[in-house]
Structure 1
Amino acid sequence: MLDFDKILSHLLYDPKDPILFNSAFFLYFFAVFLLCYQLVSHNQRGRVWVFTLFSLYFFYKACNEYVLLVILSAIVDFNLSRWIDRLESKTKRKWLLVFSIVINVGVLFYFKYTNFFIGIINDIGMGKISFMHIALPIGISFYTFENLSYTIDVYRREIKPVNKFMDYLFFLSFFPKLMMGPIVRAADFIPQIYKPYQLNNEDVGKGMFLILGGLFKKVVISDFIYQNFVQYIFDDPTRHTGIECLLGVYGYALVIYCDFSGYSDMAIGIARWMGFTIPANFKKPYQSSSITEFWRRWHISLSSWLRDYIYIPLGGNRKGKFRQQVNLMLTMLIGGFWHGASWNFIFWGGMHGGALAIDKVWIKWQKGKTWLKSNVIIAPIWKLAGVLFTFHLVCFCWIFFKSETFSGSWALIHQVTHDFQGNLFMDIIHAYPWVFTLMGIGYFIHFLPGKLENKVEVGLTRLPIWGSIAVMVLFIWTILQVKTSEPMIPIYFQF
């Protein structure tokens, strides 16, 4: 006999069990969604309504009543953008744009930064204000940036605003990318709404490759390494030797990459199955030989957003070298602050901004040394040195990104520099055999040439339908056998 109360409890929001791509409930949600979507697949308006309603329910399951924020922000920017487009007066259009920016950024600041600034006011002795109990709505940073880019693009007359509100709500609430990105531009996404739904073998194969690869990175590699090693190191670095702390940093570098890129890959793969192409958000970032290249490969949707809507409007590289370096620093400080209301994130952004500014000078110096790239012996060694240096620079910055406090960051660094005990390396490896096996697999896969991945994708596109289903079922069964008992909340949920 069916237990309707139990079924209802699963359907309602549960703060202890938010919906995740790797959760059991998502499989049921996605199966029902696929069925409904296929029933209306040849009706453009039907697809919009089904997708939007399921997306809003998905968001409700993730953060309860804060789903209303998505709807409200869609109402505001849908109407403001249409008003901006109709006006001819440049002054009025600019004021409406400012109004839109103030509303979007104001809402983001209220939920994300109110207590941060209260803390600053209290620390400098300007008051004794009590902290407010404000829950951070999941995904607010992502859909706020999408709202801003849409209104700004309409203001610049780079795109025309949509005519139907449901189309804009569909774009903003699109559940594969709603909570953790990628940050999708309206100019790239909205035109796809009006195309007929056609799914070919390439879409099936590419989507499957991204979903399976994303699940493997997130559930098998990231969750296991974090829960069985990395979290212990960062919880209290002073209890561990320097070699353990260093290996913990290497582990976290892989954890955050596999966690976020894995979730992004799943989002892009699910979207591909629904007939929507979303650009890649990661391109093997640890293969980068410079910090500039790293930011072209890491969280591409955010770095390109910061470039187009902050760095270039500030002047970019058009106002001299010094101004360019200032613009880079300001952009990365804002990028760090976007990640969270913490001095650690601001410091992390500042370090990357400073590194990018120095890298511009370094790149200019290298241009005059053609032998660095043309010499068959020196060129590969030079590139390898660049990859190793960039990777360790990024890992050093991750320490501040991950640690809750500055003291925690410096405590870990102190252990590495003052209590290294490298002779314990093999003992640590033997103590955590599965952790380091998965770390080895993770880094090995990351540094594999892209051509091998393309061959796997091509192989999946050639499978018949029954073969694709068999691969999916077998893979998901394998994931269920090896995954950790408690699903780990994705790192970027907090942003």
Structure 2
Amino acid sequence: MFESDLFQNIIELLSYDPFRPLLFNSGFFLFFFIFILIFYRFFWRNKRAKVFFLTVMSLYFYYKSSGLFFYLVILSSIIDFIAAKYIYAVESGSKKKLYLILSLITNLGILGYFKYTNFFIHTVNSISTGSIEFVDIFLPVGVSFFTFQSMSYTIDIYKGNLEPENNFIDFLFFVSFFPQLVAGPIVRAKDFLPQIKEDVFVTKEEIGRALFLIIAGLLKKAVIADYISINFIDRVFEWPTRFTGVENLLAVYGYLIQIYCDFSGYSDMAIGLALLLGFKLPMNFNAPYKAKTITEFWQRWHISLSTWLRDYLYISLGGNRKGNTRTYINLMLTMLLGGLWHGASWRFVIWGAWHGLALAVERFFNLPKWISKQNIIIKILSVFITLHVWALSMIFFRVQEYNTGFEMLNQIIHYFHFEVLFQFIEGYTLVFILIVIGYVSHYIPEKWEDAIQKIITNLPLIGKAILITIVIWLVAQFKASDIQPFIYFQF
């Protein structure tokens, strides 16, 4: 009986649980990654065994995150692997385009069905006062990420920027590599596939950087983002009229730190985990709240997505090659679709339009160039203004209904009550401290980060072990009753 119960418990632990998907900040993932590291030592010298092992582990990771929908990753990979072969092999331009279109239809079809079906039904019902029933559809984690990643491969083949991969397992590994599978960074085949062929060699400095990124990401997510969200931000955004204007404003500032720490924390951990396995992923965030313009902001925020939209959408639409008017239209279209990528709701479309308009206005007045020539006071003021342009858009990004966003603004404008600030600090001391830490750590000079990274690198093995233990203990102290999913998992 005992053995039977033990076996059943192990099966349940290893099986997909929709209420407990596998996350980087979960205890199960810690053991999962330790398991990978232990067995990876036996495979890393053999390229074929290494890739096969990591591919199996990556697919299992996705199974633990989204159940049997891991077949979508395999299906998308099969279709794009075959399509790329035909695109490269045929001479006819029309046939190349046909195979590319088939690839795009497949990927966009997967994305469209799972993510936008009910959005389309809701829109049709709203316009026609119809009553089409919504479809009960589960949104697989990270579907927006791996479809974009797979599409970029066939597009690059079509453009002649890349030769097709001959080994399907290598290509499947590129699409499914677990650190970046469900929330990026979105990786390009030309950057990742060559690494598969190389020998695995991780330097002492890379180990130090990997640990720094993993620790920083874990602290950002599990300590700062989750705590301030659960204990303050969610409450205000749910019912802003119950709070004064100063509390609403602090919730907005807090949300900026929450979403940054949540998403960049995931990216940091993904890059660090990949680096420990001998693979280099691209930087996804570069202190975006230091940006002096919205143009610069999008060069620092979710870099892998913004460059994807630039290279595969904006430039394909004509970029800035067809006159100013067309350039502004292309900017708007790119950001509209970028907004829709974030979620199946008109508020995300409008959010994208807001940023498209901001980019167009900055380009019209040539603001980035003008600001670059100004004194330090103007540059600091530009950072302040850019942050608040972003903040205003993020109010409507976060709320579920537009009315809630306008209620927040109304509270901030008409019922500010500055005197409540000191009561807030007294009542939400730890929340306030964590928000301040979030901003201070964001604005510290890069050389400080480099110094911390160097300290971690030079720690002896026992020192690294003690540091990791302290971080795990600290995360456990801040842990909520339920592990909080990463915000961008819903995209």
Aligned match of 2:38 in 23, 35, 55?
A: 35
**Corresponding residue of 1:455:** 451
SS class of match (1:323): helix
TM, length-normalised to structure 1 = 0.96
Cα contact 1:223–1:488 (8 A) shared by 2: yes
User: How many residue pairs were aligned?
Assistant: 488
Residues 1:408 and 2:411 are matched in the alignment: no
Residues 1:388 and 2:384 are matched in the alignment: yes
**Corresponding residue of 2:364:** 361
Distance in 1 of aligned mates of 2:464 and 2:81 = 40
Residues 1:421 and 2:428 are matched in the alignment: no
Distance in 1 of aligned mates of 2:196 and 2:33 = 20
Residue 469 of structure 1 deviates from its aligned partner by 2.5
**Corresponding residue of 1:199:** 202
Residues 1:46 and 2:49 are matched in the alignment: yes
Residues 1:128 and 2:124 are matched in the alignment: no
Distance in 2 of aligned mates of 1:260 and 1:229 = 19
Distance in 2 of aligned mates of 1:482 and 1:236 = 24
The change in CA–CA distance for 1:364 and 1:22 in structure 2 (over 3 A counts) is closer
**Corresponding residue of 1:323:** 326
**Corresponding residue of 1:180:** 183
SS class of match (1:163): coil
1:415-461 CA distance string (max 9 Å, x none): 11222222211111211000001111111100000010011112222
Cα contact 1:344–1:403 (8 A) shared by 2: no
The change in CA–CA distance for 1:104 and 1:414 in structure 2 (over 3 A counts) is same
**Corresponding residue of 2:466:** 470
Residue type at the aligned position of 2:412:
V
Distance in 1 of aligned mates of 2:123 and 2:295 = 32
**Corresponding residue of 2:241:** 238
Distance in 1 of aligned mates of 2:391 and 2:325 = 27
1:166-202 CA distance string (max 9 Å, x none): 0011000000000111101111111000100111101
SS class of match (2:131): coil
Residue 126 of structure 1 deviates from its aligned partner by 6.0
Distance in 1 of aligned mates of 2:227 and 2:233 = 9
Residue 414 of structure 1 deviates from its aligned partner by 1.6
Cα contact 2:314–2:331 (8 A) shared by 1: yes
Deviating more after overlay: 125-134 vs 204-213: 125-134
**Corresponding residue of 1:70:** 73
SS class of match (1:161): coil
**Corresponding residue of 1:376:** none
The change in CA–CA distance for 1:445 and 1:99 in structure 2 (over 3 A counts) is same
**Corresponding residue of 2:158:** 155
**Corresponding residue of 2:489:** 493
**Corresponding residue of 1:21:** 24
Cα contact 2:295–2:368 (8 A) shared by 1: no
Cα contact 1:214–1:261 (8 A) shared by 2: yes
Residue type at the aligned position of 2:249:
L
Residue 366 of structure 1 deviates from its aligned partner by 5.1
Aligned match of 1:295 in 298, 307, 322?
A: 298
Aligned match of 2:8 in 5, 8, 11?
A: 5
**Corresponding residue of 2:142:** 139
Aligned match of 1:211 in 209, 214, 218?
A: 214
Distance in 2 of aligned mates of 1:269 and 1:306 = 25
Distance in 2 of aligned mates of 1:180 and 1:492 = 6
1:361-405 CA distance string (max 9 Å, x none): 2335954x88x43xxxxx110010000000011011100110111
Cα contact 2:157–2:164 (8 A) shared by 1: yes
Query: Which ranges in structure 2 are unaligned for 5 or more consecutive residues?
Result: none
Residue type at the aligned position of 2:421:
F
1:215-249 CA distance string (max 9 Å, x none): 00000000000000000011111221111111100
Distance in 2 of aligned mates of 1:426 and 1:365 = 38
Query: Which ranges in structure 1 are unaligned for 5 or more consecutive residues?
Result: 374-378
Cα contact 2:44–2:200 (8 A) shared by 1: yes
Residue 321 of structure 1 deviates from its aligned partner by 1.5
Residue 252 of structure 1 deviates from its aligned partner by 0.3
Cα-Cα RMSD: 1.3
Residue type at the aligned position of 1:191:
P
1:44-123 alignment, distance < 5 Å: 44-123=47-126
Cα contact 1:253–1:398 (8 A) shared by 2: yes
Percent identity over the alignment? Answer: 48
1:120-152 CA distance string (max 9 Å, x none): 111112632100001111110000101110000
Distance in 1 of aligned mates of 2:136 and 2:475 = 38
Residue type at the aligned position of 1:257:
Y
